[in-house]
Amino acid sequence: MDRLHLLDSLTGLVLLYVASNLPFTIFLLRGFFEAIPKEYESRSDLTCANLRVLWGLIVPWRFRIAVVSMFIFSASWDEFPVASR
């Protein structure tokens, strides 16, 4: 952080939080997306219908993504007052 001149800056703090929370986020979302049936993958093609399939997959999963976002936000928010002193 010192070499990048990010000590005592909000940008350095944000980068630190992203780097420390990324493994947990990937772990949770990987479990969610592994539950998608394999038929969707085998049937997908590179047409306009593929966007409909993707949208049909993402919309039902938005609550799971929201839950992961709330976990990460609460963990970062609890740590922020300590780190910003």
Question: What pTM value is reported for the model?
Answer: 0.62
Q: Would you say residue 3 lies in a domain?
A: no
3-state SS class at 51:
helix
Q: Would you say residue 50 lies in a domain?
A: yes
Residue 82: predicted pLDDT: 77
Q: Are 50 and 44 in contact (CB under 8 A)?
A: yes
Task: Name which of 76, 82, 81, 80 is nearest 24 in CA terms.
Answer: 76
Mean pLDDT of each 10-residue bin along the chain, 85 residues long: 84 87 89 76 58 70 85 85 73
Residue 45: predicted pLDDT: 56
Q: Would you say residue 74 lies in a domain?
A: yes
Domain count, the chain: 1
Q: Would you say residue 68 lies in a domain?
A: yes
Residue range(s) defining the domain that contains residue 15:
10-83
Q: Would you say residue 5 lies in a domain?
A: no
61: burial class by Cβ within 10 Å (0-12, 13-18, 19+)? middle
Q: Would you say residue 1 lies in a domain?
A: no
Q: Are 32 and 83 in contact (CB under 8 A)?
A: no
Residue 78: predicted pLDDT: 85
Q: Would you say residue 4 lies in a domain?
A: no
